[in-house]
Structure 1
Amino acid sequence: MDKKKKRLIVRGAILLILAAAIVFALTSKKETKVLAVGDKAPNFELLNMDGEKVKLSDYEGQGVFLNFWGTWCPPCKKEMPYIEKHFKEFTNKGVQVLSVNIGESEFKVDTFINQYELTFPVLIDKNKSVSRNSYNVVPLPTTMLIDKNGVIKKIITREMSEAEIVSLMESIQPE
């Protein structure tokens, strides 16, 4: 066999392997469902800043203001003081705040918590399993309002004003 035929066979084999790899990658990709209003909120378990496990299901029967954020996100920085300001008032009315930081170090998150004097539960989604795989969160901030039955009532994918945060918290108060 001459050099040209060998080269052609080797190139053909390489192209066949590459094509098979591309087909495999495209067909085996796990589809992440995009959540919508009316869907049951997927349960999750993350650690809070004290290293304690927190599950969404722990808050069954209460409204949950589920906020995904990052320390580098300017809109997140703007709305955090408003969430903090109304956190205690609404906790007494059956609305819980769960704040999920997406993939940052505990040091960065702790520095942010201290800077903004946050007292509500802050969870860290270190490997982004909740934000990406369960909730398919893309822009930050993203806030999901979950009613006492665990159903998503509203999804906000932008910065919220103080008045809007109050109104949204009121909307998921259990009766």
Structure 2
Amino acid sequence: MTGKKIIIAVVFIAFFLLIGISIGAVINVSDDQMRERSLQTLQDSEGRDNHHAVGLNLLDTESEAVINTEEPLRDIIQDNEVTVVNFFASWCEPCKRETPELNEYAQDTADSDVQVVGINIDDSVKNRDEFLKTYDVQYPVFELADEADMTKEFKISLMPTTFFIDSNGEVVRAYIGEIGPELITNYINYVKERQ
């Protein structure tokens, strides 16, 4: 009897281990498949985006340089095939997490036709400057001359929000939330293919 109970216990343990491993594999595969599917959907879409800013033009936005550039935002947009415009604030936790990656991305694409730009909104000068120093931001950062009107017109209410703009100043894509390098590259490729 004891040997039979041991065999039954071993079978049950093996059964539950197998189920646990199977569930873990399904969850991992599902996460990878979901990420692949979302990136593929982005690539296959026809440019439809449900953010209000898509289709608007950023060239007429007046801004003031904060650091790292003497070049106006308008010139940066027109001189590059794609401009990645990231709206951020120093108090925003996702902004803090994504800024090092944006900084690295900007440095990696410095000699290309892509430019990363930051626009600081809803912030104090002191906090903004501390943020830029803490994260050693190397890409051009601007503040808006008329922040209230611009954020209202472009419906920027959540941080971070990132626009992908073509050389004509049109917002082709918009992404709300923390963004990483892989998704940035996919959005940039989408804008380039569209032109």
Instruction: Say whether the fold is shared (TM-score over 0.5).
Output: yes
Deviates more, 1:49-58 or 1:90-99: 49-58
Deviations 1:45-83 (A, max 9, x none): 211225957333542141110111111111111110111
Question: Does the 8 A contact of 2:120 with 2:141 survive in 1?
Answer: yes
- Any idea what SS the aligned residue of 2:55 has? coil
Q: Which has the higher helix share?
A: 2
Question: Does the 8 A contact of 2:59 with 2:77 survive in 1?
Answer: no
Question: Does the 8 A contact of 1:40 with 1:152 survive in 2?
Answer: yes
Cα drift, residue 133 of structure 1: 3.4
Shift in CA distance, 47/40, structure 1 to aligned 2, threshold 3 Å: closer
- Any idea what SS the aligned residue of 2:52 has? coil
1:44 maps onto 2:61 in alignment: yes
Aligned to 1:142: 161
Deviations 1:8-32 (A, max 9, x none): xxxxxxxxxxxxxxxxxxxxxxxxx
User: Match for 2:98 among 79, 83, 92?
Assistant: 79
Shift in CA distance, 135/36, structure 1 to aligned 2, threshold 3 Å: closer
Question: Does the 8 A contact of 2:76 with 2:115 survive in 1?
Answer: no
Q: Aligned residues, how many?
A: 142
How many Å separate the matches in 1 of 2:148 and 2:90? 18
TM-score by length of 1: 0.68
Aligned pairs for 1:1-175 within 5 A: 35-50=52-67, 54-62=72-80, 63-125=82-144, 128-129=147-148, 131-172=150-191
How many Å separate the matches in 1 of 2:152 and 2:75? 18
Question: Does the 8 A contact of 2:103 with 2:137 survive in 1?
Answer: yes
Q: Could you list the runs of 4 or more consecutive aligned residues of structure 1 that deviate by over 6 angstroms after TM superposition?
A: none
Amino acid at match of 1:54: P
